[in-house]
Amino acid sequence: MKNSEMDITTLSALAEPNRMNIVQLLKGGPMAVGEIADQLGIRQPQASKHLKVLNDSGIVEVQVDANRRIYKLRSEPFQAMDIWVQSFRHIMEERLDNLDHYLRELQKKERP
């Protein structure tokens, strides 16, 4: 019955620009290491290192294709982040408790 404990390793893996870029890139679909490095303008060894971090944290998984490794996003970490963020619903939905908001609500009731 896991409440909403967010895995720190997921966040720290994403909290690095190159890795965040890799994740954004992989949103478009699976991709091999070389192409990832090309697209992002980084060197292949750095790409491999960052992909290792992403892999260790479970954000990506790898599919071996002969010579190459195709990396793709895994769904679980994003589902976990979704659940975690949703646990802040009451924070996100917080409305300004001022006159302005009051007047808006009033208008809604006058014109339903």
Partner DNA sequence: TATTTATATTCCTTGACAGGAATATTCCCT
Partner DNA sequence: AGGGAATATTCCTGTCAAGGAATATAAATA
Binding site for DNA (CB under 7 A): 12, 16-18, 32-35, 42-53, 62, 66-69
Residue 6 touching a copy of itself (CB under 8 A): yes
Closer residue to DNA (CB): 63 or 86: 63
- Out of a copy of itself, DNA, none, what residue 45 binds, judged by CB under 5 to 8 A for its kind, is DNA
Among the listed residues 53, 55, 54, 23, the one whose alpha carbon sits nearest the alpha carbon of residue 40: 23
**Strand ranges of the sheet holding 31-32, from the earlier edge strand across to the other edge:** 31-32, 68-73, 60-65
* Count of helices and strands (H, E) across the chain: 7, 3
* Interacting positions 18-47 with a copy of itself (CB under 8 A): 20, 27
Q: Which of 91, 97, 108, 111 binds a copy of itself (CB under 8 A)?
A: 91
State the Cα–Cα distance between residues 13 and 5, nearest whole angstrom: 16
